[in-house]
Amino acid sequence: MTTRGGDQMPVITYRQALNDALRAELTRDENVFLMGEEIGIFEGSYKITAGLLDEFGPKRVRDTPIAEEGFVGAAIGAAMLGMRPVVEIMTINFSLIAIDQIVNHAAKIYGMFGGQTPVPMVIRTPGGGGQQLAATHSQNLEVWYAHIPGLKVVAPSTPADAKALLTASIRDNDPVIFLENLSLYNTKGEVPDGEQVAEIGKAAVAKEGTDITVIAYSRASMIAVEAARQLEEEGISVEVIDLRSLRPLDRPTICESVRKTSRAVVLEDDWLSYGIGAEISATLMEGAFDYLDAPVRRVAAAEVPLPYAKPLESAALPDAKDLIKVIHELLEATGFPR
């Protein structure tokens, strides 16, 4: 397991951590370049690329037409020829326009060409609800991409992980889908100075505990930590596993935690059916069944197109109260405390 900790470090936003990683990699490797809609002059819809056009010029920071299939395809070609493009798709919902390029080309070229042609590219894209952007702009489609062999899919929850995982993704020789939840951009956290390169495929223990394990990723990891801290006041010790990577998935860390606590809840922003939570549940049935005191519980979004109205949107998305309720139910069902 990897546990967070260490000395006092600078505190920056998730947005700034991404910007710092892009700047560092553009400086380090001349083959790295950025492309996407309005990332240059406008500095990106979410200002992740602020200042980079002025610093590196239009050949390294390239504005594209509103044509995701076209510019993702161009990035794949550039990657095949030795470049390392970092593509920004304004929202994961728009990646559907380019899904043929992503699934049938980026993910498959290395295998179909017998390993002769790697495709070292990153597709950065935000998703998630809570911003009143309505149903077609608020989806969590990560399970679609995590299903595809040939892709790597990461979903950092903290500024430190955002910086270290983006650095690792840019240097990786496989295509990486880099998921950013919109609600995380203004969150702050400690980020080490200097170069940090995370291991793609390694989960983190966001909080240690002994009574129950909560497995989450992206925004849901932040909710899980919040709930765990509240439950500490009741004498309940919750271990939070932040997946960080959805493909490859760190199954050993998940199972190791549940073997210790004997109880598990999976929290995700996505819909319940056929989601990441279902995969985690199956993983625990295969790797920790004999240690479970009760079936794995899941907490997820309501299975509806996300409403625009703020009260309805909030009701549809899982929060700390929803998670705490299920944790209480699971603990009660297993006779806690003993």
C-beta separation of 106 from 77 below 8 A: no
Structure token pair of residue 124: 């950065």
CA distance to 50, 130, 160, 166, 208, per residue, from 5 (Å): 30, 30, 11, 20, 11
Give yes or no: 199 in active site.
Answer: no
**CB neighbours of residue 329 within 10 Å:** 13
248 preceded by a cis bond (ω within 30 of 0): yes
Give the active site residue among 25, 43, 137, 268. 137
Give yes or no: 68 in active site.
Answer: yes
- Burial of residue 41 (CB within 10 Å: 0-12, 13-18, 19+) is exposed
Give the active site residue among 25, 43, 68, 142. 68
Question: What's the CA gap between 179 and 182, in Å, rounded?
Answer: 10
First to last CA, the chain: 27
Distance of CA 265 to the CA centre of its chain: 18
Question: What's the CA gap between 218 and 58, in Å, rounded?
Answer: 32
Question: What's the CA gap between 53 and 48, in Å, rounded?
Answer: 12
Please, what is the Cα angle at 201 between 182 and 186, to 5 degrees? 20
Question: What's the CA gap between 185 and 60, in Å, rounded?
Answer: 24
- Strands 2-3 and 264-271, by their bridges, are unpaired
Q: Please give the positions annotated as active site.
A: 68, 137
